[in-house]
Structure 1
Amino acid sequence: MKKVTTALAGSLVALAASAGASQALTLYCSAQEEWCQIMARSFEEATGIDVDMTRKSSGETFAQVKAEEANPKGDVWWGGTGDPHLQAAEEGLTEEYVSPMREQLHDWSIAQAESAGNQTIGIYSGALGYGYNNDLLAANNLPEPACWKDLLKPEYKGHIQMANPNSSGTAYTTLATMVQMFGEEEGFQYMKDLHANINQYTKSGSAPIKAAGLGETTVGIVFMHDAVAQVEAGFPITVVAPCEGTGYEIGSMSIIKGARNMDEAKQFYDWALSAEAQNLALEVDAFQVPSNKGAQTSDKAPDLSSIKLIDYDFTKYGSSDERKRLLQKWDEEVSTLPQ
């Protein structure tokens, strides 16, 4: 077979045709719904392989893959923050695979793979931050927040949403970011103080900024690209890169260990790393930075080079023990506090 290059789609069509029409792929997707749908449908068009796609947040998907360990039902897990993908790799829930597409990828994508024994790989990156609704901010006579610690001011009580870190990779990244920026004691104190101002912990990581766009909350803590999407949709949102610095994600993809459709899973994996597949993000207003060096990054995407990013320790905070420990501590010391 020819080396996988720009003729990738044609090669996949030939593979699909040679294997018959009964091929199928079960895809677990942890990106935004529209992006999940276009990835599934475009892969079907490119290969003739039927895709059964389920969209859940990354924390929920990790829990599902873990629960199905003895009898895997999914083939590929695409999207969502890297930390739960790394935990899945550590716990032996995902399959080692070295794609022939790797030479086309940014170094940070390959580093993600190497840190996990090639059981996952980076597909996009994005910085953590928040957005606020300009109209609600003015109506409530609130000061414009520019830093993480601004969100602790008492006047923001009841005005902030974030996701639950048990279900959301975005929120776990927030928790791990505070611990890394401020130290564990001060980081957890930050989360406790922030808790006093939270009006709701959502299941999905992008839900808080969608609520802010609709005027249901003033501030939503999210990855900045999700806030940009609300701006582009016409909602009165201002996007903030916090002054102290911030963490970031490497959105990842993994093949589930024991996948029933392993050949199809590898075909999807290779296709999803191509520039053509990653350019589909532009069609659904997904403003992450893609991992293929030949893929296009929207000019509206947050410029990571201009944002003060911390040296996020993906290996440590994506480890099973550390992730479980921090989530348990958050459950016991933060979520139980009165609001």
Structure 2
Amino acid sequence: MRSDYFRSAALAAFLVSGTTLAQADSLTLYCAADEAWCQQIKTTFEEKTGITVDMTRKSSGETYAQLRAEAGNPKGDVWWGGTGDPHLQAAEEGLTEEYVSPNRGELHDWAIKQAEAAGNKTVGVYSGALGFGYNKDLLAKNNLPEPKCWADLTKPEYKGQIQMANPNSSGTAYTMLATMVQLMGEDKGFDYLKALHANINQYTKSGSAPIKAAGLGETTIGIVFMHDAVTQTAAGFPIVTVAPCEGTGYEIGSMSLIKGARNPEAARQFYDWALTADMQGKAKDVKSFQLPSNKSAAVSDLTPDLSTIKLIDYDFKKYGSSDERKRLLSKWDTEVSTLPQ
């Protein structure tokens, strides 16, 4: 009887060990960039390492909400991409792990500052400026003037012609909300958002969806990061990208290791690889035109030149904080989204 017991115990131990070894060869990735880029990252990492990647693509806000929901039993290992504000909030709330990659010295200062602001619980992987794009064919068909400024988008002639994402689910749209508050002051910023609301035909879940809809002729104007508008132009759609004349905010797309991850070694291996020039330089091959955080990464000629764009001094630490983000989203829900259109 005792020998049967020990044989059973040994078999159980072997099975557990086998499961652990299998897990070491797998990685669960939450990706908050464009689907094509996420698929490229998954495939390339699998080919390079032999590690199987289970990738889920969601917007930044959705991914942050998932991390919170899974905090007691984390299912993901790495959160890659999406605007930095929710990454900072996740760091503040203890949902992500501190880690300093040996490749960090290869990064631009803005990427390292993002890491330092989060106690090294996140790091910048790309950057891009907020703006909008319009379908030039629809604009001409409807005899509409070319919008050049944020103020233009509140004009009555654009009623029903504009899409943006919902800031509760989209990091892009939250950046828009925080940008207006910083650019105009909170009262005037919310007045602007209320006026803009009258011209919005749909709040989408994903931040890049509005410009994809504009490319397909489903709306005239999409408020997005400028690189997302450039992607549509590069794909052959009649989209014109605009850097608003008043100035604009920008994102630092980030990456974080999820606290309590089941595959920490594979997660760190992915993290280190995702900061290399070789990995980041491949983004342009799938028409993702963000500015890479690795100083040596290849950059497409189509990537918007941030030095030519009037950027505000975006306060990532303040607007990425849990309290401020919750407060602004609650105010938008109460004062803007409930208004008639």
Question: Shorter-chain TM-score category?
Answer: over 0.9
How far apart are residue 283 of structure 1 and its match?
1.1
Give the fraction of aligned pairs with identical amino acids, expressed as a percent: 77
What is the 5 A alignment of 1:151-300? Answer: 151-300=153-302
How far apart are residue 20 of structure 1 and its match?
7.0
Q: TM-score with structure 1 length normalisation?
A: 0.94
**Which string of whole-angstrom CA distances, capped at 9 and with x for unpartnered residues, describes residues 264-314 of structure 1?**
100000000001111120110100000001101111111100000000000
How far apart are residue 150 of structure 1 and its match?
0.3
Matched, 1:128 2:130: yes
Q: Residue 130 of structure 1 aligns to a residue in which SS? A: strand
Q: 1:298 and 1:276 mapped to 2: Cα distance?
A: 14
What is the 5 A alignment of 1:111-150? Answer: 111-150=113-152
The answer for the alignment partner of 1:59 in structure 2 is 61
How far apart are residue 119 of structure 1 and its match?
0.1
Contact 1:133 1:215 (8 Å CA) reproduced: yes
Q: 1:169 and 1:282 mapped to 2: Cα distance?
A: 22
Q: 1:116 and 1:51 mapped to 2: Cα distance?
A: 26
Gaps of 5+ in 2: 1-20
Q: Residue 251 of structure 2 aligns to a residue in which SS? A: strand
Aligned residue-pair number:
321
Q: Residue 115 of structure 2 aligns to a residue in which SS? A: helix
Contact 1:28 1:56 (8 Å CA) reproduced: yes
Q: 1:118 and 1:64 mapped to 2: Cα distance?
A: 21
Moved more, 274-283 or 126-135: 274-283
**Which string of whole-angstrom CA distances, capped at 9 and with x for unpartnered residues, describes residues 31-72 of structure 1?**
000000110111111111100000000000000000000000
**Which string of whole-angstrom CA distances, capped at 9 and with x for unpartnered residues, describes residues 172-203 of structure 1?**
00000000000000000000000000000000
Q: Residue 282 of structure 2 aligns to a residue in which SS? A: helix
Following TM superposition, the consecutive aligned residue runs of length 4 or more in structure 1 with deviations greater than 3 angstroms are 19-22
Contact 2:112 2:124 (8 Å CA) reproduced: yes
Q: TM-score with structure 2 length normalisation?
A: 0.93
Matched letter for residue 290 of structure 1:
P
How far apart are residue 323 of structure 1 and its match?
0.2
Q: CA RMSD in A?
A: 0.9
What is the 5 A alignment of 1:4-83? Answer: 23-83=25-85
Contact 1:35 1:286 (8 Å CA) reproduced: yes
How far apart are residue 169 of structure 1 and its match?
0.2
Structure with greater Cα Rg: 2
